[in-house]
Chains A and B, each alone.
Chain A
Amino acid sequence: MIRIKKHSVRDAVDGYIFILPWLIGFLGLTLVPMAATLYLGFTDYDMFSNPEFVGLKNFVKMFSEDNRYWKSVRATLYFAFFSVPSKLIFALMVALLLHNKRRGNYFYRALYYAPSVVGSSVAVAVMWREIFKPNGLVNAVLAVFRLPSNTVWLGDPRFAIWTLILLVVWQFGSPMLIFLAGLKQIPTELYESSSIDGAGPFRQFFRITLPLLTPIFLFNLIMQMITGFTAFTQAFIVTEGAPLDTTNFYALYLYRRAFENFQMGYGSAMAMVLLITIALMTGLVFKSSPYWVHYEAE
Chain B
Amino acid sequence: MAKLNKRKERVKTLCYHTLVALLGIVMIYPILWLAGSSFKATDELFTRVSSIFPANPTFDHYISGWKGFGNISFTIFYKNTFIITGISTIAVVFSSAFIAYGFARLNFPFKKFWFACMLSTLMLPIQIQLIPQYLFFSHLGLVNSFTPVILPNFFGKAFYIFMIVQFIRGIPRTLDEAAEIDGCNRFRTFFTIIMPLCTPAMITAAIFAFYWTWGEFLMPLIYLNNPKLYTVSLALRSFADPSGMTNWGAIYAMSFLSLVPVFVIFILLQRYLIEGISTEGIKG
Chain A residues at the B interface, C-beta cutoff of 8 Å: 8, 11-19, 21-26, 28-30, 32-34, 36-37, 40, 47, 94, 97-98, 102, 104-106, 108-124, 127-128, 130-131, 136-137, 170, 174, 177-178, 180-182, 184-185, 187-189, 212, 215-216, 218-219, 222-223, 226, 229-230, 232, 251, 254-255, 258-259, 264, 267-268, 270-271, 274-275, 278-279, 282, 295-298
**Nearest chain B residue, comparing its CB with the CB of A257:** B128
> Binding site of B, secondary structure by majority: helix, strand, loop or mixed?
helix
Residue among B203, B276, B283 with the highest chain A CB neighbour number at 10 A: B276
Contact partners of B117 in chain A: CB under 8 A:
26
User: Which A residues touch B162, using CB under 8 A?
Assistant: 219, 222-223
Binary A-proximity of B47-76 (CB < 8 A = 1, otherwise 0): 001100000000000000000000000000
Residues of B close to A18: CB separation below 8 A: 98-99, 101-103, 106, 186, 190
> Please, which residue of chain B has its CB at the minimum distance from the CB of A217?
B166
- Interface of A (DSSP majority class): helix
Which parts of B174-225 form the interface with A (CB within 8 Å)?
A: 186, 190, 198, 200-201, 203-204, 207-208, 211, 215
In the complex, whether B141 has a CB less than 8 A from a CB of chain A is no
Name the residue on A nearest B101 (C-beta).
Answer: A18
Among B34, B132, B159, B267, the one with the most A-chain Cβ atoms within 10 Å of its Cβ is: B132
Interface residues of B (CB under 8 A from A): 13, 16-17, 20-21, 23-24, 27-28, 30-31, 33-34, 37, 49-50, 95, 98-99, 101-103, 106-109, 111, 114, 116-125, 127-129, 131-133, 135-137, 151-152, 154-156, 159, 161-163, 166-173, 186, 190, 198, 200-201, 203-204, 207-208, 211, 215, 236-237, 240, 251-252, 255-256, 258-259, 262-263, 266-267, 270-271, 273-274, 276, 278-279, 282-283
**Further contacts, 19 of them, CB under 8 A, given A110-B266, A275-B120:** A12-B106, A18-B101, A36-B136, A37-B124, A104-B20, A109-B270, A110-B267, A112-B23, A116-B211, A128-B30, A177-B207, A181-B201, A184-B200, A185-B171, A187-B279, A226-B122, A229-B123, A264-B131, A271-B128
Query: Are the C-beta atoms of A22 and B124 separated by less than 8 Å?
Result: no
Cβ A118 vs Cβ B30 within 8 A? yes
- The interface residues of chain B lying within 8 Å CB-to-CB of A298 are 169, 173
A112 and B27 in contact, given A47-B131, A188-B279, A223-B159 (Cβ under 8 angstroms):
yes
- Contact among B161, B167, B207, B282 for A189, CB-based, below 8 A: B282
Give the chain A neighbours of B283 by CB distance below 8 A: 189
A124→B167 contact, CB < 8 A: no
Judging by beta carbons under 8 Å apart, are B166 and A218 in contact?
A: yes
Nearest residue (CB) in B for A7 is B107
Residues of A within 8 A of B136 (CB): 29, 32-33, 36
In the complex, are the beta carbons of A24 and B16 less than 8 A apart? no
- Tell me if B127 and A259 are in contact (CB < 8 A): yes
Report chain A residues within 8 Å CB of B204: 177-178, 180-181
Chain B residues closer than 8 Å to A271, beta-carbon distance: 124-125, 128
Cα A2 to Cα B127 in complex, Å, equals: 50
Closest A residue to B215 by CB, please name it. A119
CB distance from A110 to the nearest CB of B (A): 6
Would you give the shortest CB distance from A159 to chain B, in whole angstroms?
A: 19
CB–CB B107/A12 < 8 A = yes
Q: Which residues of B contact A282 (CB under 8 A)?
A: 119, 123
On whether A121 and B255 interact (CB within 8 A), knowing A32-B132, A226-B123, A278-B123, the answer reads yes
- Cα–Cα distance between A19 and B258 once the two chains are bound (Å): 35
Chain B contacts of A136 at CB under 8 A?
Answer: 50
Contacts of B271 in A (CB 8 A): 106
What distance in Å separates the Cβ of A245 from its nearest Cβ neighbour in chain B?
Answer: 18
Given that A18-B106, A187-B279 are contacting pairs, would A181 and B27 also be in contact in the complex, using a CB cutoff of 8 Å?
no
- Checking A11, A105, A232 against B107 with a beta-carbon cut-off of 8 angstroms, the contacting residue is A11
